[in-house]
Structure formats: structure tokens, C-alpha cells
Structure 1
């Protein structure tokens, strides 16, 4: 979905910056975006969101390369098959889906004034509630779908809280549909997401991301959660401002360099 959106941005004439973890896939994505943009070369940076130092390096590279950032698309999404802590000490799904994008957005915050942040969430947020006091996770209670749901709830809570704390940054979250991708933590889930007949194409999901990135602000709600082109209600926990505030403070503390 992210690649499809990047190609659509490039076809519009926008300057595109790509971020990916795997060097080979990142190079292939850059080649596809170059073609979509009529030969214009995209900028590409490698970063692994399971390493917060990678995110800090990425932020520095983006600040050096981009004097202006009109849209930051926090599109990272993934599900760990089993419990795993990252080198930073957090449950891997929560870090890659929420803590890393939270850190990146925070580090780019001044460059985002007057701009837009679009956070890819999911209806799967109904399956899990983030616990701000337990971002390291519990291996004895781990469930892959609950962890993923908690991460996607965190995306929605982050967008809403950003709208309250950073009124000069327009922030939304959205459910892209059940998209035909290589998503999943096991073979059965990956098979479903690749071959089920009713899935949304990456191109259609990417077009929704582009619309949320480019539609006039008057047509959208700052902090809103969208399913398709419609502002939509969330699970009760994902609409809780107290939980959003506690998650923000816990995320800020979790992503602060140890030296501080």
C-alpha cells in the first residue's frame, strides 16, 4: 500500500521520500516510483523501526534532505508471530507500529508546522487496547492479534492527541481496508491476505492515503479517524482522551535517549 501511494504521489508530480527496512525491496520501490514520476529520482533512506537509533538517524537524514515536509505518512504496520522484545526493550509490534512512528514524528515536529501527518491504523484496533504502563509487553499473555490491535489503537490515539497538543500540525488516522499484501505473522494469515477474493487492492488503499494527504483541511477533521472517505467512530478505548494523554507521556519517556 505504501508503495502504491508513493507511485501515485510521484505521478502527481510530488517529491517523494521513501523509507524501508530491506535494502533490496527499498531499491525496487525507488525504481518503481522513479518510473511513476517520469524519471524523477526519489530519495530513499533505510531504517529498521525495531531499532530506535535507526529512527533517530533517519530523522536527522530527513531534516538534512528536506527543507520542507508537506506530508508525513506513518504507514508502518506489522505483526510479530511470537513475543519478541526489541533491542530497546519494547514489545516488537508496539515499537514498530507506534513507538517508532511516534519518535520520528516528534523529532520532525518543528519541520511539520503547517503540514499534515497521516497515520495508517486499522479496524483491528477493536482487538487490543494499549497499556501505557506495559510497553515492554508480557510474554506470558502475548497474543499476536491483540498486540497488533493495541498498536493500531495507539496510532488512532496518537493522531487524536497530536491534534490537541500540536494544533499547527493537521493529523488524521485511517483504516485502509483489508488490503491484499504480504501482511501476517504466520502462513495462514499471509495466505489470506494475498488470495482472499474480497480484499482491497494496494492501489485503492494507496489512493485513500493520498486523498487524506491532499484533501483540503476544511473537508477533514483534525484528529479524526477515517474508514474510506468517511469520518468514523472508534472503539471506546481508542476515543479515550485520558488514555491518549497517558500513552503520549509514556511514549515520550520510552523513546527518550538514555543519556537524558
Structure 2
């Protein structure tokens, strides 16, 4: 979906910087985005969001090469069916899907003034949970789906709190729908994403992301979760201002940003 969105941005004449952790796949993505942009060369940086050092290096590169950043699309995502620890000591899903996005946004905050942040999330399920005091889920029996859902809850709460703390940046979260992607390629879920009928194509889901990135700011609600149209009202018991503030503080501590 991220690649499809990058192609759509490039086709519209926007300058795009691609980020990927696999060098071969990133090079292939650069070729596709270049073609979509009629030969315009996209920027590209190899970075693994399971490593904070890579995120910091990415931010340094963007700050040195991009005098203005209109949109930061926090779209990287992963699903781990077994508990994995990153080199930074965090559960892999929460670091790759939330903490690294949080860190990157913090590091680019000044350059994003007047711009917007779009966090790719999902519409959290009824049983989704997130305890800001236990981001790594150490006090719970591990479930890959539950860990993924928790990280997606964090994406929405991050946008909510960023809207309050950074009113000069439009912060949004996106439910792209059920998309035919390869996010579950290393798990049994790959069959779900490959063969389930009626899933959205990456191009269709990407159009939702591009809409949030380009629609007039007056048509959007800061801090909201969007799907295909109007804002989605998430579970009010889970998505509270108090929990969003607690998550922000816990995330600052986790990435060592004050």
C-alpha cells in the first residue's frame, strides 16, 4: 500500500522519499515510483524500524536533504506471530508499528510545522487493548494478533495527542480497510490476505492515504481516525484523552526523547 501511495504521489508531481528495510525491494520500488513520476528521481533511504539507530539516521538524512516536509506518512508495519525483541529491548510490533513512527515524528517535528502526519492504523477490534504502562505486553501471554492490534491502537492515540500538543501540524490516522498486501507473508495469515475475496487492492487503499495527505485541511478534523469518508468514532472507553497523554509520556521514555 505504501508503494502504491508513493506512485500516486509521484504521478501527481510530488517529490517522494521512499523508506524500506530491504535493499532489493527498495530498489525495485524506486524504479516503479520513478516511472510513475515520468522520470523524476525519488529519494530513498534504507532503514529498519526495528532499530532506533536507523530511525535517527533517517531523520538526520531527511533534515539535511528536505528543506520542507509537507507530509510524513507513517505507514511501515509488521506482524510477528511469536514474541520478538528488538536490539533496543522492545517487543517488535510495538517498536516497528508505533515507537519508531513516534520517534521519527518527534525528530522531524519542527520541519513538519504547517504540514501533516498520517499514521496508517486499522479500525481497532472490539477486544483491542493498550496499557501505556506495559507497552511491551510483558505482563500478558503473547498473541501476535493482539500485539498488532495494540500497536494500531497506539497509532490512533498518537494522532489524538499530537493534535493537542502540536496544533500547527495536522495529525491524522487512517483505517485503509482490509487490503490485499503481504504483511502476513511469513505467517499462516498470508493465505487470508491472498485468497479472501472482496479485499481492497493496494491502489484503492492508497487513495485513502493520498486523500488525507492532500485534501484541504479545512475538510479534515485534527486528531481523527478516517476510513473511506467521514471520521470513524473509535471505542470511547479505549480512546480517551487521558490514555493518549499517558501513551505519549510512555513513548517518550521508551525512545529516550524528552
Q: TM-score, normalised by structure 2?
A: 0.96
Cα 1:237/1:30, change in 2 over 3 Å? farther
Contact 1:125–1:235, Cα closer than 8 Å, also in 2: no
In structure 1, distance between residues paired with 2:125 and 2:53: 27
Contact 1:157–1:238, Cα closer than 8 Å, also in 2: no
Cα 1:155/1:140, change in 2 over 3 Å? closer
* Aligned partner of residue 236 in structure 1, secondary structure: coil
Structure 2: 5+ residue stretches without partners: none
* Aligned partner of residue 85 in structure 1, secondary structure: coil
Deviations 1:116-175 (A, max 9, x none): 000001024544222211223328611111101100000000001000000000010010
Q: Is residue 239 of structure 2 the alignment partner of residue 239 of structure 1?
A: yes
Stretches of 4+ aligned residues off by more than 4 angstroms: none
Partner of 1:36: 36
Contact 1:50–1:87, Cα closer than 8 Å, also in 2: yes
Q: Is residue 82 of structure 2 the alignment partner of residue 63 of structure 1?
A: no
Partner of 1:85: 85
Q: Is residue 76 of structure 2 the alignment partner of residue 76 of structure 1?
A: yes
* Aligned partner of residue 148 in structure 2, secondary structure: helix
Deviations 1:55-110 (A, max 9, x none): 01110001011000000000011111100111111110000000000000000000
- Aligned residue pairs, count: 258
Cα 1:174/1:237, change in 2 over 3 Å? farther
Q: Is residue 32 of structure 2 the alignment partner of residue 3 of structure 1?
A: no
Contact 1:180–1:199, Cα closer than 8 Å, also in 2: yes
In structure 1, distance between residues paired with 2:121 and 2:244: 15
What RMSD, in angstroms, separates the aligned Cα atoms of the two structures? 1.5
Partner of 1:103: 103
Structure 1: 5+ residue stretches without partners: none
Contact 1:89–1:136, Cα closer than 8 Å, also in 2: no
